[in-house]
Amino acid sequence: MKTKRTKAIYWIATIIFALLIIMDGMGGVSRAEAGQEVMRHLGYPMYVLTIFGVAKLLAAVAILQDRFITIKEWAYAGLAFNFIGAFASRAFAGDGGMLLIFPLIILAIMFLVYYTWKRYEQYKPANI
């Protein structure tokens, strides 16, 4: 891929993914009713909505910045743990179908965003 094309794909994918994470994080921080229903169904206490919401907002900020690479890596790792945990929680609660598959789809999207970031890093000039 060409450098400009890689950069465009990276930023478009990253911004869209970050917006999705921000919306999910805001839902957690505001304790949206849909989130509360899911937490009750899975057997989690309501305060985890706030914890997960704040963590997702911080992760979105981390993946949008390009200065602190280690923090960005940790944000991707934390989101991966979150999506894998969501899948496991749904599986242990006996959910099936799309409720079970959706966290894995989001995880796959995150891996595509991560892959484009790594490709972008290969082509980015060292002095930026």
Does residue 68 sit in helix, strand or coil?
Answer: coil
15 burial level (CB within 10 Å; 0-12, 13-18, 19+)? middle
Question: 57-106: per-residue pLDDT in tens?
Answer: 999 999 999 999 999 999 999 999 999 999 999 999 999 999 999 999 99
pLDDT surpassing 90 at residue 53: yes
State which H helix or E strand residue 76 sits in: helix 69-92
- Alpha carbon distance 18, 1 (integer Å): 23
Instruction: Kindly state the DSSP code that residue 121 receives in the 8-state scheme.
Output: H
User: Residue 34: is its pLDDT beyond 70?
Assistant: yes
Put simply, whether the predicted model's pTM sits higher than 0.85 gets the answer yes
Cα–Cα distance, 105 to 79 (Å, whole number):
13
Q: Are 28 and 52 in contact (CB under 8 A)?
A: yes
Highest mean pLDDT among 3-17, 61-75, 113-127: 61-75
Residue 29 CB partners (closer than 8 Å, separation 6+): 49, 50, 53, 54, 57
